[in-house]
Amino acid sequence: MKNTLNILRIVALVAVVGLFAFSCSIDNDPGGVGHIWIPPAIILPDSDTVTITLHPNQTGVSSIEVEVTPGEPYEFPARPNSFPVPTGKVFGGWLLHPSDNVIRLPGQSYSPSEDTLWLANWVDPTPTTVQFRNDDDSIIESRNTTVGTEIQLAFHTGFVSSVNSAYRLLGWLERGNPEAEVLPAGTNNFLVYKENIIMDAVWEGLRTITFNPNGVLSGGTTIGIPQQAMAGTNLTLDGRNDAARTGFRFLGWSTNSANTNPDFLDGSLYPVTQDITLFAIWAPTLRVRFNTNYPTGSTPSFDLPDDISASMNISIELPDESDFDPSDVPTGMALAGWNISLDNQGNPNGRAFIPGEEFIVTQNNVILHAIWSPFTIDVIGSDPTRTVTITRPVAAAPTGVINIPPTINTWAVTEIGEEAFDALSGITGVRLPTGLLHIRLNAFRGTGLASVSIPAGVTVAGTATDETMGSPDKQDSFLIVYPIGGAGLYSWQAVAVDTWTRIGAHPPQP
């Protein structure tokens, strides 16, 4: 593109020069026909410069534009006289727009690659301190000053490097400012542009690893201080501190701010060869929330268990009942699982998950709803053909009629487990779902049942003297089962195709 523009400039210049020469030759010719009009020169865009605009950050004042060569350093000026100071404010350097954390102070340089806009940074003249710290983080000097004033940086007097007393002080580096440059000791006119600035000593013989947050950090969190080590050694990276970004998860560090995968983890060894800036690498977090969903149909609550933040396609373990405070578990209920969706009545109608199983996060703001059951259950099979076995009521001594639901957490209830209701003498009736397939051994032994309706097609476990509620062959007229109460055995008579009624006691079998 640049070559094309240069060619166009040359063509335009040749054309203008030719027309000018032609005009002059006519003017000098007594027999000429008169002047030839030369149009104004066409100004082609100059791709060899970029514009730095200094904006007063106030109305009624003109900006200043400076043309510079891309890649060449531009030194920022002090406050221009044409930029009046707003009432109650002081000048605090130049703020890159639209960024809110890239600041250049007077005397600092910037090498632009494109047009940029810098706003005059007006700040409050707040009393503050500037601390000068050594490479062991000890305070060398703490100087009281005011934001907006210029100070002279500390000289190298009375202190040495904690690593090697023979090192020479190169200067000072502002902590926490990824755009900062090492300033020589004794530098005049350092502008205190904000509160509580810390300047770290930089020693010759050491290499400095500076940490760049690579994004706007959450309020109150900070990136780690620069680390220093001898070239040729391995340094344990300790740069994250408590840095956090809303909606992101910290992954590690890279020498390239655009990378999505880190080159180094925080806490890993870094081979020191030169001064370098390491950029924090962040991955967007996807929020997974948990609705306790109790009582059913109530306003959703998301405080139990805590939300989980994960990255796309990361597998997380779903909470189980042990993750709940016992006081928050509904009385007489057990956590049967989680469901991705509820109907208008608060009942599960989406994909179901088992507590403690792995869940792959594929989208943001997933809500999983806790599903509670009055029975403990075993979930059989794999998704999407899972079924449920009832293993025991949650209540210690249930009474009256027990209703076995056809589904729990959208899984079909197909089985009453072995000894599921054994010795629960307070049960006087039971309603079984039509989808039931199996009643296991001694499922209702020792209950107060007088009769039970068994759906057609249900298989009943046991032998003629060790039955659950009948036998696999429902055509028999009399069946022997364990007693509902006391010693001895009872007979059961088929009074309908799928109904069995106790008709009397029999002596115990040997």
How many domains would you assign to the chain?
A: 4
Strand ranges, E, within 56-114: 64-68, 74-75, 90-97, 103-104, 109-110
Q: Give the pair of three-digit tokens for residue 218.
A: 């959450």
pLDDT for residue 313: 75
Domain assignment present for 108: yes
94 band by pLDDT with thresholds 50, 70 and 90? very high
Dihedral pair phi/psi, residue 63, rounded to 5°: -80, 165
Task: Kindly state whether residues 412 and 489 are assigned to the same domain.
Answer: yes
Which of the listed ranges 226-240, 334-348, 371-385, 426-440 does the model predict with the highest average pLDDT? 371-385
Q: For the sheet with 489-496, list strands across it.
A: 451-453, 499-506, 489-496, 478-481
Q: Which residues pair with 497 in a beta bridge?
A: none
Q: Write out pLDDT tens, residues 444-476.
A: 877 776 656 666 667 765 433 334 444 333 333
The predicted structure's pLDDT at residue 302: 59
The answer to whether residues 317 and 392 belong to one domain is no
pLDDT value at residue 102: 81
The answer on 413 and 289 residing in a single domain is: no
Q: Domain ends where: 305, 340, 373?
A: 373
Query: HEC states along 432-494?
Result: CCCCCCEECCCCCCCCCCCEEECCCCCEECEECCEECCCCCCCCCCEEEECCCCCCCEEEEEE
Region for residue 195 given its phi and psi (left: phi exceeds 0; alpha: psi -120 to 50; beta: otherwise): beta
Asked whether 51 and 115 are in contact (CB, 8 A), the reply is yes
Q: List the CATH number of the domain containing 502.
A: 3.80.10
Domain that holds residue 363: 285-373
Q: Kindly state the average pLDDT of the residues 471-490.
A: 35
On whether both 503 and 382 belong to a single domain, the answer is yes
Q: Which of 416, 425, 422, 423 is nearest to 387 (CA)?
A: 416
| Whether residue 86 sits in one domain with residue 29 | no
Q: What is the pLDDT of residues 6-59, one digit of tens each?
A: 444 444 444 443 433 333 333 333 333 333 333 343 344 445 899 999 999 999
Over residues 291-333, the pLDDT tens digits come to 887 665 555 565 555 666 666 677 888 989 988 878 778 889 9
CATH number of the domain residue 105 falls in? 2.60.40
Distance of CA 109 to the CA centre of its chain: 35
Instruction: Say how far apart CA 6 and CA 46 lie, in whole Å.
Output: 9
Residue 413 shares a structural domain with residue 435 = yes
Do residues 380 and 504 share a domain? yes
Residues 343 and 450 both lie in one domain? no
Q: Given pLDDT bands bounded at 50, 70 and 90, which one contains residue 76?
A: very high
User: Taking Cα atoms as reference points, which of 166, 207, 208, 173 lies closest to residue 187?
Assistant: 173
pLDDT band at residue 5 under the 50/70/90 scheme: very low
**Alpha carbon distance 200, 169 (integer Å):** 11
Picking from 426, 502, 423, 413, the residue whose alpha carbon sits closest to that of residue 458 is: 413
Question: Looking at 68, 94, 123, which one is the last position of a domain?
Answer: 123
Is residue 466 in a domain?
yes
The β-bridge relationship of strands 400-403 and 366-373 is: unpaired
Are the CB atoms for 496 and 485 separated by under 8 Å? no
pTM, two decimal places: 0.46
Is 88 among the domain residues? yes
Residue 155 lies in a domain: no
Amino acid identity, residue 386? Answer: R
More confident residue, 219 or 40: 219
448 in the same domain as 419: yes
Strands, E assignment, 221-303: 227-230, 234-236, 248-254, 269-271, 276-284, 286-291
pLDDT for the residue numbered 503: 39
Residue at a domain's end among 77, 100, 123: 123
Among 126-135, 266-275, 298-307, 452-461, the range scoring the smallest mean pLDDT is 298-307
Task: Classify strands 109-110 and 74-75 as parallel, antiparallel or unpaired.
Answer: antiparallel
What whole-number distance in Å separates Cα of residue 115 and Cα of residue 94?
15
- Asked whether residue 91 is assigned to any structural domain, the reply reads yes
Position 273 in a domain? no
Residue 369 sits in the same domain as residue 453: no
Pair 380, 509 in one domain? yes
Lookup: tokens for 388: 């449920």
89 belongs to a structural domain: yes
Q: What is the mean pLDDT of residues 397-426?
A: 91
CA angle 257, 259, 263 (to 5 degrees): 95
Which has more pLDDT, 92 or 441?
Answer: 92
Domain identity same for 389 and 480: yes
Mean pLDDT, rounded, for 202-226: 87
Residue 206 in any domain: the answer is no
